[in-house]
Amino acid sequence: MPVEPVFETRIDRLTILDEHGRFDEELGAGLIPDEDVVALYRHMVICRHLDEIAFKLQRSGRMGTYPENRGQEATSLGAAYALQKKDWLVTCYRENAGLFWRGLPMELVLLHWMGDERGNEIPEGLNVTPLAIPIGTQMLHATGLGWASKYRGDDGIACTFFGDGATSEGDFHEAMNFAANLDLPVIFFCQNNSWAISVPTRIQCSAPTIAQRGLAYGMDCIQVDGNDIFAVVKAVRDAAERARTNQRPTFIEAVTYRLGDHTTADDARRYRDDEELEMWKLRDPMIRLRGWLDARGLWDDSKQASLQEEAEAHIAAAVQRASDIEALPPTEFFKNMYKTMPPNLQQQMSTMRTSSLGRNPETADQSAVS
Ligand SMILES: Cc1ncc(C[n+]2csc(CCOP(=O)(O)OP(=O)(O)O)c2C)c(N)n1
Ligand SMILES: [Mg+2]
């Protein structure tokens, strides 16, 4: 009996503007109108400034923790630009640029990291889910949202973002399996930034690409240069088209890099080589886009200087709005989990005592549990 291949495939990598400034005219010309490229660049600069300020807020004790987005701005921004307002953005925690492009007020993200649940109260109609900190959980929500869109026939898509590390979670595979087998309009957008805290991608995935994980579910899969906003926009537009016309999901692996620590609770110098970091600094998506704009006479140093001033004022105002909000009573945090609060939480809220240490909050004296 001859042995014959039953399945052969390959994974393509898409780059339009590479790290040396080379631009693929065939794929890239007219993809994004010049004025929009300027707007995207301006947005990146403003988001980068927010990152810097949020880091300082954490270091000065005004914020609990913060995950820097630096270096990864082109991914979620390119996707948010390519999608429509009716499409869902189902993110984890490193997608500020895309969320702000969609219209999420910056102070909500600041409040979230300041530990204020009001940061998770997303304005109605924005079609954005709250930041998801438990790794992988949001992909299932995206599959559900895609399913709901298909059921209603509203032509919407759910685009979910997650890291390379998240693709090792069971939830990821369940979400992918459902989306593929039920023909759902979902885009799975993996930000492969080389690290899951201190675990390098090569330890989490022994295949040469993460993109090929989607092949097992019969999905279209592509790898893109995640620091090239043109490539991201094209890949997401193609995926959106497939989702809207054929109700098929797509898996996109965007290769990028986090230039900062995992969060402010981390120190990447303990596990990451300087050389690797220096190499990726040269691939910074902002520098690349600035080079493209400069080469076309669309930007210059004086525009940059006034943008910098604008960014500072913009972020200072957002920080002010987050800081000015009136503090809530401490019992308030009980109210954010359930629509109808279970009796044990009601009891804890009214007595401000806990039974989590095996004590009966009715009889334990307050000093023992404080
Ligand atoms: C279910 C779950 N397990 C563990 C963690 C702790 N944790 C936070 S971030 C992280 C690594 C995530 O890596 P990746 O998915 O690559 O995302 P990145 O931060 O690199 O964008 C881990 C293990 C968590 N938040 N949730
Ligand atoms: Mg990662």
For residue range 107-127, list pLDDT tens digits in order.
999 999 999 999 999 999 999
Q: Name the closest-CA residue to atom 19, ligand 1.
A: 196
**DSSP class of residue 134?**
S
Band of residue 335 on the pLDDT scale cut at 50, 70, 90: confident
Whether residue 8 lies inside any domain: the answer is no
pTM: 0.94
Exposure b/e, 63-98, CB count within 10 A at least 16 = b: beebbbbbbbbbbbbbbbbbbeeebbbbbbbbbbbb
CA 292-11-91 angle, to 5 degrees, is 65
Share of the chain above pLDDT 90, in %: 88
- Record the tokens describing residue 226, joined without a space: 């995640």
Whether residue 98 lies inside any domain: the answer is yes
Q: What is the pLDDT of residues 155-206, one digit of tens each?
A: 999 999 999 999 999 999 999 999 999 999 999 999 999 999 999 999 999 9
pLDDT reading at 369 higher than 50 = no
Q: What is the pLDDT of residue 362?
A: 66
Residues 195 and 334 in one domain: no
Residue 258 catalytic?
A: yes
Cβ of residue 262 lying under 6 Å from some atom of ligand 1: yes
Q: Name the closest-CA residue to atom 18, ligand 1.
A: 163
Closest CA to 92 of 76, 111, 116, 115: 76
Q: How far apart are CA 42 and CA 223, in angstroms?
A: 26
pLDDT reading at 77 higher than 50 = yes
E strands along 72-231, which residues? 88-90, 158-163, 186-192, 195-196, 199-200, 220-225
Whether residue 1 lies inside any domain: the answer is no
Q: What is the pLDDT of residue 328?
A: 87
Q: Give the end of a domain, one of 289, 309, 324.
A: 324
pLDDT reading at 370 higher than 80 = no
Band of residue 359 on the pLDDT scale cut at 50, 70, 90: low
Q: Name the closest-CA residue to atom 17, ligand 1.
A: 163
Phi, psi of 196 (to 5 degrees): -115, 95
Band of residue 364 on the pLDDT scale cut at 50, 70, 90: low
Residues 30 and 171 in one domain: yes
Residues 211 and 334 in one domain: no
Q: Give the end of a domain, one of 324, 343, 358.
A: 324
Residues 320 and 337 in one domain: no
To test the pocket of ligand 1, the residue of 65, 135, 174, 189 to mutate (highest count of ligand atoms within 8 Å of its CB) is 135
In a 10 Å sphere around its CB, with 0-12 CB exposed, 13-18 middle and 19+ buried, how is residue 130 labelled?
A: middle
> What separation in angstroms does the CA of 63 have from each of 40, 57, 335?
28, 6, 22
pLDDT reading at 46 higher than 80 = yes
Share of the chain above pLDDT 70, in %: 95
- Average pLDDT of the residues in 212-227: 97
Residues 155 and 205 in one domain: yes
Of the listed 258, 283, 288, 353, which one is catalytic?
258
Q: What is the pLDDT of residue 355?
A: 66
Residues 273 and 125 in one domain: yes
Q: What is the pLDDT of residues 273-317, one digit of tens each?
A: 999 999 999 999 999 999 999 999 999 999 999 999 999 999 999
Report, in angstroms and rounded to the nearest whole number, the Rg of the chain calculated over CA atoms.
Answer: 22
Count the alpha carbons within 13 Å of 309 in the hemisphere toward its beta carbon.
5
Band of residue 52 on the pLDDT scale cut at 50, 70, 90: very high
Q: Name the closest-CA residue to atom 3, ligand 1.
A: 135
Nearest ligand 1 atom to alpha carbon 67: 19
Q: What is the SS3 assignment for 353?
A: coil
- Average pLDDT of the residues in 232-253: 98
Q: What is the pLDDT of residue 187?
A: 98
**DSSP class of residue 23?**
B
- Average pLDDT of the residues in 137-166: 97
Residues 172 and 262 in one domain: yes
Q: What is the pLDDT of residue 230?
A: 98
Chain mean pLDDT for the chain: 94
Cβ of residue 53 lying under 6 Å from some atom of ligand 1: no
Residues 257 and 362 in one domain: no
Whether residue 6 lies inside any domain: the answer is no
Q: What is the CATH number of the domain that holds 116?
A: 3.40.50.970
**DSSP class of residue 64?**
S
pLDDT reading at 368 higher than 90 = no
In a 10 Å sphere around its CB, with 0-12 CB exposed, 13-18 middle and 19+ buried, how is residue 334 labelled?
A: middle
Residue 271 catalytic?
A: yes
E strands along the chain, which residues? 13-14, 88-90, 158-163, 186-192, 195-196, 199-200, 220-225, 250-255
In the structure, ligand 2 is a single-atom ion and the residues with CB under 5 Å from it are 163-164, 193, 196
- Average pLDDT of the residues in 39-43: 98
Cβ of residue 221 lying under 6 Å from some atom of ligand 1: no
Q: What is the pLDDT of residues 1-11, one digit of tens each?
A: 899 999 999 99
Whether residue 7 lies inside any domain: the answer is no
Residues 254 and 223 in one domain: yes
Q: Please answer whether residues 219 and 155 qualify as being in contact, where contact means their C-beta atoms are separated by less than 8 angstroms.
A: no
Share in percent of the chain as helix, strand, coil (round to 5): 50, 10, 40
Whether residue 345 lies inside any domain: the answer is yes
Residues 348 and 300 in one domain: no
Whether residue 3 lies inside any domain: the answer is no
State how many domains the chain has: 2
Strands 199-200 and 195-196: antiparallel
Q: What is the pLDDT of residue 30?
A: 95
Q: What is the pLDDT of residue 351?
A: 80
Q: Please answer whether residues 74 and 229 qualify as being in contact, where contact means their C-beta atoms are separated by less than 8 angstroms.
A: yes
More confident residue, 227 or 332: 227
| CA 93 to ligand 1 center in whole angstroms | 10
pLDDT reading at 235 higher than 90 = yes
- Beta bridge partners, 192, equal 255
Residues 312 and 364 in one domain: no
Range of the domain at 358: 330-369
Residues 286 and 354 in one domain: no
Q: What is the pLDDT of residue 361?
A: 62
Q: What is the pLDDT of residue 360?
A: 66
Band of residue 348 on the pLDDT scale cut at 50, 70, 90: confident
Whether residue 4 lies inside any domain: the answer is no
pLDDT reading at 223 higher than 80 = yes
Phi, psi of 33 (to 5 degrees): -60, 145
More confident residue, 355 or 71: 71
